[in-house]
A and B are shown apart, each in its own frame.
Chain A
């Protein structure tokens, strides 16, 4: 019998997620010793864990491009950029959650445990360079988010959202898996670098198995980012999930999915580019069209933001399709901009949630800005940024995506993008009109939480900052694009 030699792995590569997972185990233990009245301590612990993990990102950063575990994990600036983005998203989510889950009467430590698990899953996903680790990271992230979607277990809407999200998510995972298996069958390897070099060395361009594999992968990942025609779970999941989790879902898993889409299609499958580009082109175009047009008809603001996020996903695909350095950088930049404007907007929605008042209909915003001028102004900034008007982060993000599409000569797609941004003006401005012009709701009170208002102001400031001084962010995004 041959003895097995286990090489000592370079755990430096996975330091951020390793620290986070260890911290989660510590938190689960610590939760036992925290009395019921002091469950807020968990939020503090979770934030400390994420800050430690973010510190680890900075520790790993100077090492540059390193791989480990038989090339199944990589730590490059692309992955680290996304890991930092997840850290920011997680801290903001924890800050907006604390009061919200207390109002919902679900203030347990497990909420933060699961949130940190989701973050570590996303970190694994953006670092993964092997089909096995990609699959595991994806499932880790997805399963945690299903639970968080159904976290309000007394609320039927939350249960239903979780069930729909779960069934369609598991279905799409099976589809992605079949695509991965066919890829393995053709190339004989699960490592995406080996897949890429095999495809570059052998002509498999018209191999029908490869075409089937590409189609399955595209369909499955389109599910994950809620692009039309695989978007049907998103409005329900967004509406039913706890609002703080909706904010997180709109940013974290979406960014992670786009990161892995970039990695799979640009690193592993560049040889098949002329097969997947037309499919993504179609998905991008109809996502922008349908997402923005249906959003006009919504009366629930979470649902409206869900449809608008479908439109945004279509927009982001422009960067994927162009496949150039500037395209990748613009996807990263857009995700950063989207992080602040989206979490900010959801934080304002949470402000309206009181015991007995759900506060997520657009009409709940009546007179909001007149009563609370500064918070109203922040919401206006988020809305302007979501439309993509200057001087906000959304404008810079959209401009770069359009530039990438035009540079790669996808003029029609860019034209649809511009046109749909104009359509989005209608529904976003309808919220603004409700805030500024409609009659105030008598007796409307906001949730009093310093953390929550802090997040709103911080996000508004960040949105403006990226919008007005974009150079620094653009250079850092360009410096950390995917090396192919």
Chain B
């Protein structure tokens, strides 16, 4: 039996790693992957809470987060493809037609 706190700590660590990634990386696709990592960290917390409280709400919430993540991936990558067609880069430091 794993104490619930273990899962929460793991989730917090993953969330923080993802957040750091968003802040330090300069490649839009990698930044987006870090955001997906943050969502996964959230999912781990949710399922852990769901188990501890004997409720299914948390698991259903995870299901919805996954669906939205899929929609988000489709749109985010479409935006990146359309930018790349015009600009040939996905480095957010070079994307500075307007000030970042």
A: which residues have CB within 8 A of B? 131-132, 135-136, 139, 143, 146-147, 150, 153-157, 159-164, 166-167, 170-171, 174, 177-178, 181-182, 184-185, 188-190, 232, 235-236, 239-240
Contacts and interface: CB of A to CB of B under 8 A. Distances in A.
Contacts of B53: 188
Contact of B79 (A146, A157, A171): A146
Contacts of B92: 163-164, 167
B98 A174 contact: no
Nearest to A178: B42
B95 A139 contact: no
Interface residues on B, range: 35 or more
A139 B72 contact: yes
Contact of A178 (B15, B28, B75, B78): B15
Contacts of A177: 39, 42, 65
B49 A181 contact: yes
A171 B35 contact: yes
Nearest to B87: A156
Contact of B95 (A160, A190, A232, A239): A160
B54 to A, nearest CB: 9
Contacts of B55: 188
Contacts of A136: 64, 68
Given A156-B86, A184-B61, A188-B55, A163 B80 contact: yes
Given A154-B86, A157-B97, A159-B87, 19 more contacts: A135-B64, A136-B64, A136-B68, A139-B68, A139-B71, A150-B79, A153-B82, A157-B98, A159-B79, A160-B95, A162-B79, A163-B80, A174-B42, A181-B61, A184-B57, A185-B45, A190-B57, A232-B100, A236-B99
Contact of A181 (B46, B75, B98): B46
A240 B80 contact: no
Contact of B98 (A166, A190, A235): A235
24 contacts: A132-B61, A135-B65, A143-B68, A147-B79, A155-B86, A163-B80, A163-B83, A163-B95, A164-B95, A166-B75, A167-B32, A167-B76, A167-B92, A170-B32, A170-B72, A171-B38, A174-B39, A178-B45, A181-B49, A184-B46, A184-B57, A184-B61, A188-B53, A189-B57
A290 B71 CA distance: 35
Nearest to A162: B79
Interface in B25-56: 28, 31-32, 35, 38-39, 41-42, 45-46, 49, 53, 55
Contacts of A153: 82, 85-86
Contacts, number: 118
A88 to B, nearest CB: 27
A24 to B, nearest CB: 16
B92 to A, nearest CB: 8
B4 to A, nearest CB: 9
Contact of B22 (A131, A164, A171, A232): A171
A182 B11 CA distance: 11
Given A174-B39, A178-B15, A181-B45, A160 B97 contact: yes
A150 B96 CA distance: 16
A166 B80 CA distance: 10
Contacts of A157: 97-98
Query: Can you list the 10 inter-chain pairs with the closest CB atoms, starting with the nearest?
Result: A159-B83, A174-B38, A185-B49, A153-B82, A236-B98, A156-B86, A139-B68, A162-B79, A170-B35, A188-B53
Interface string B62-76: 001100100110011
Contacts of A156: 83, 86-87, 97
A153 B82 CA distance: 6
B16 to A, nearest CB: 10
B13 interface: no
B10 interface: no
